[in-house]
Structure formats: structure tokens, C-alpha cells
Amino acid sequence: MKILNAKQIREADAFTIKNEPIASLALMERASTAFTREFVRLFPKKDRTVHIICGQGNNGGDGLAVARLLFAQAYRIRLSQIISENSTDDFNKNLERLPKEIPLEKIRFATELKVSPEEITIDALLGSGLNRPLEGRYLEIAEEINENATDTIAIDVPTGFCCDAPTESVAVKATYTISFQFPKLGFLLPENSKFTGKWLVAEIGLHPEFIEKEKTPYTLTEAKDIRKVLRPREHFAYKGDYGHATLIAGAFGKAGAAVLSAKACLRTGAGLLTVRCPEKCVDTLQFSVPEAMCDLDSEKEFLSSLPDLSKKSAIAVGPGIGTALDTQNMIGELLRISPAPLILDADALNIIAMRDWIDKIPEGSILTPHLGEFRRLVGESRDGFQRLEKLRELSAWTKSVIVLKGAFSAIATPDGRVRFNGTGNPGMATAGSGDTLTGIITGLRSQNYSAEESAVLGVYLHGLAADIATERKQSYESLIASDITEHLGLAFQKAQHLR
């Protein structure tokens, strides 16, 4: 799914109006109907008054149409119209169509607006037409909503929310945002979830030809993209067909990281797996993952040297390795001689940052930093937008795929594209879930998926498995990394659409 900026969305609206063709008023009706459908799903009970706060632009026009549509479904509605000098034609037409039974209050000063916690508040004040930070009356209204509303549902975007740049002033903090056709880039960045709340996208039938041809570096991966890339297992397959992966992982006290990665790698379908680990990790590994072979380092407690890496289909390094000097030197050697593209995670990334070795990363590798590791690699970012630019730069610089982990993990490729992932949940903010991801990506890379495919598929399946685990038997609180691996089977089935 493409992520377009506010200007492109305006152009998509205009193109649709001209070429479908459809009257702009009818398009507004379609958008409002789509919003109403989602709203009714979220709030099927009609026991609370719905207070709709409208500006006089097209976002306010949507608000008026939504008022009429909800009123027709027997919701109790009241409207506040924030009076300003101008109004759009479609706003005016929807005002004419508004049933007389709906109470409408004209608000000139912010102090006249009363927001009640007992009501459901719909924010239709400003949408994607925002062209400067909120100030004066609009700012006071946003503050009044934030202070007193309990459930605020934003039409398209919360008032004051900036789609494509940091939101620098006050904005409405919505409980839900029901957005039209496209997720907005800002929805995917961590500092903005306080404004959007939970967001969802309502399809409004903007012209497919426009969407097809419009260029953007940003997309959100959908189930159908995954299905296209996943390859079925061959009937006459032999384990050698699915590669021999190597995982360089573990240190004394951190054998668990190696175990989690190894299990996830095998559960993802690698033909063979060898884990290179310090001696003190071996028993734990062999006991917990008997399917994996172990290759012992000469050191007992930490890794100090490389195993034989010839004929390996994927080499992952990092989970639980620590940063001992010998381990640092081992990483230096690996970057120098690596015969196959690498998957670099955790302390391998920390070592690269400490030793200033970004230039040495072999082309075609996959890096999987979380926010902290990313900061160590490329320094502080002012905000999520600048961080995205740094992500794209790092990918181009290293000619590698970079997975910036978090909610909506972002996967950058050297050609400048960024693919966001929508599966996963906050239960995954738990020890070892990153180690599991490394295993999954390694398993895919080992089966000869490209670096980009492995990252996109891996992150998707990782999140999907966590979602299934949470839905079936865990809560966000109780989810642990092993649950993710245990549910990879169901994730594959769902992704392949067998169930």
C-alpha cells in the first residue's frame, strides 16, 4: 500500500473527481459513508450522544455528512460549527442537507465550546488541509478536546496533526483516527501515536490509475505482497535445498539469545543450522535445540574466533555475543572475510558502532537495529522524520538492507525505498523478541530469499506470529519471545492463505 504525502493526496482527490468522473460532493459522501461504517463498528451502542465538532473546510464538510448519516442510523447527535470567514462549497452543500432536528451550535470563541466526557467526540475541525501549526482559537479548541473528551474519533487526521513533518504545536489527541484511503507517513512514527491513537484506513475509491503511477519511497506491506513472495516447499525437497545457515551467537549467561535465534531459524525452514558458540553455551543449546549442530569456540565464556564459513548460505551474528575485545576482533575479521552476505544484529551492531566499522559492512547484508542500536550507529535524530532520512542514507551507504525495529518496523533498501510493516503488537516489547527475528530472517536468507525479501517476509511473519499468539492464548503482558516462534507455523499458514 503506497503512502502518499498530503499534496499527492489532494492530487489524487482532484484526479478522481476529473477522471472517474465523480462530483466532489459525491466523493465527500463516499468518504463520509466509509467513516460512518467504521464508526458504527467501533461504537455500535447508541447510548451516548455523539458531538461532532466541524470546521468549515472539507474536513468539516465530512463532519456534517457524518452527522446526517449517523442521525439516519438513530444516533443522538449534536453539532458545533466553528465559524470562520471562509467555507468550501461542499461544506455549504452539506450544511443545507443537514436534518433540522440535529442541534447545531455556532461557535465564535473557544470558550463557547463545551466538550463533555460523557459524549463521544468526533473531530472534524481540520484535516489534511492544515498548512500551519495551530494557534489562537483552534489551539484552544484542541486543548479543550484533549482535556475533556474521553473518546475522540478524528476524521482523516486529528486536527493540528501534520502528515509529513513533525507536529510542532498542539494537536488533538484522538482515541481513534479513521483515515481516508492511505495511511499517512506521520502515523507510522513513534512520537505521533499520542495524536492518532489507534488508526485505521477506510477505502474511498480514489482512482487506481493515479495511485498506480504516483511515485513514493514509502509503502506499507500488505498480506497480498507477502503471498506473492512466499515460495511453496517443493514436494521432492531435500534439506540441502534449503541451505545451511550459521548463527554466531551467545556468551556465558546469554545462551538464551542463541537458543531463541536458533529455534526461530529452524522453524522458518532452514535446511541445516550450525550454531557457533562459546563452550559454556553448548549444553543449553543442544538440550533446547537438538535440531541444531554446535561448533565450539576455543573460549569458554565468549566468542573469539570464526568457524569455517565456507558453503554457508546465510551467516548471522550478534544475539547475546557481548562486546569482549576478542569478540570485537572476531567481528572485524568476519567483516573482512565474509564469504556470504551477513545478518548483523544486537552486539554485532554495537561493536560496529564502537569501532567505527560501518564502511566495512559487506554489501547485501541485512542489519536489524532497534532504536538504541540505530542511534549508536548514526547518532541522535531530532524526530522520526529525520530518523527515516538517516535510515535511507545508511542503507544507501552500506548497500545493505536495514530493518529499523519497533512498532511499524521500517525496512530500507539501497535504492531509497522504505517499506513499513504493520503486523506485530506491543507484547513484542519483551526480552529476546529481536533474537527471534534474527533467526527468522536467517532462516529465510538461508533458503535463498533475497536480502530484501528475507527482511520484509521475516518482519511480517515475526509480527504475525506474535499477533496470532496474542489472539489465541496470550495477552500483551504475557507474551514472551518463545511464543512468537511457537506460532510461526500458524503465521506461515495464514500468510500462504491455507487457512
Ligand X SMILES: NC(=O)C1=CN([C@@H]2O[C@H](COP(=O)(O)OP(=O)(O)OC[C@H]3O[C@@H](n4cnc5c(N)ncnc54)[C@H](O)[C@@H]3O)[C@@H](O)[C@H]2O)[C@@H](O)CC1
Task: Tell me the binding residues for K(+).
Answer: 59, 123, 159
Binding residue positions:
58-62, 123, 127-133, 138, 156, 159, 257, 320, 370, 405-409, 434-435
| Residue selected from 186, 250, 256, 432 as contacting ligand ADP according to rule CB under 6 A | 432
Sole binder of ligand X in the list 5, 8, 36, 58 (CB under 6 A): 58
Stretch that binds ligand X, among 75-83, 123-131, 211-219, 309-317 (CB under 6 A): 123-131
Q: Is 478 in the site for ligand ADP (CB under 6 A)?
A: no
Candidates 24, 421, 470, 485: give the one binding ligand X (CB under 6 A): 24
CB 194 within 8 A of CB 158: no
Contact 258, 250 (CB under 8 A): yes
Sheet holding 120-124, edge to edge: 104-107, 77-82, 50-54, 120-124, 151-155, 176-180, 198-202
State which H helix or E strand residue 273 sits in.
Answer: strand 272-277
Backbone CA torsion sign across 86, 91, 92, 95: negative
183 scored as a contact of ligand X (CB under 6 A)? no
Residue 409 binds to ligand ADP (criterion: CB under 6 A): yes
The site partner of 129 among ligand ADP, K ion, ligand X, none (C-beta below 5 to 8 Å per kind) is ligand X
> Which region among 132-140, 219-227, 287-295, 319-327 touches ligand X (by CB under 6 A)?
132-140
How far is the C-alpha of 171 from the C-alpha of 139, rounded, in Å? 7
Which of 424, 439, 443, 458 touches ligand ADP by CB under 6 A? 424
Which stretches of the chain bind K ion, using CB under 5 A? 59, 123, 127, 154-155, 159
Q: How many CA atoms lie within 13 A of 467 on its CB side?
A: 16
Q: Output the DSSP codes for 31-80.
A: HHHHHHHHHHHH-----S-EEEEE-SSHHHHHHHHHHHHHHHTT--EEEE
**Rounded distance, CA 132 to CA 129, Å?**
9
Tell me the three cell numbers of residue 252: 556465558
Q: Is 180 helix (H, G, I), strand (E, B) or coil?
A: strand
Residues in contact with ligand ADP, shown as a per-residue x/- string from 330 to 369 under the rule CB under 6 A: ----------------------------------------
* Contact criterion met (CB below 8 Å) for 172 and 145: yes
Name which of 57 and 432 has its Cβ closer to ligand ADP: 432
**Residue 247 touches ligand X, criterion: CB under 6 A:** no
Site residues (vs ligand X, CB under 6 A): 13, 24, 27-28, 31, 55, 57-60, 62, 88, 126-132, 134, 138, 155-156, 180
Site residues (vs ligand ADP, CB under 6 A): 370, 405-407, 409, 424-426, 428-429, 431-435, 437, 462
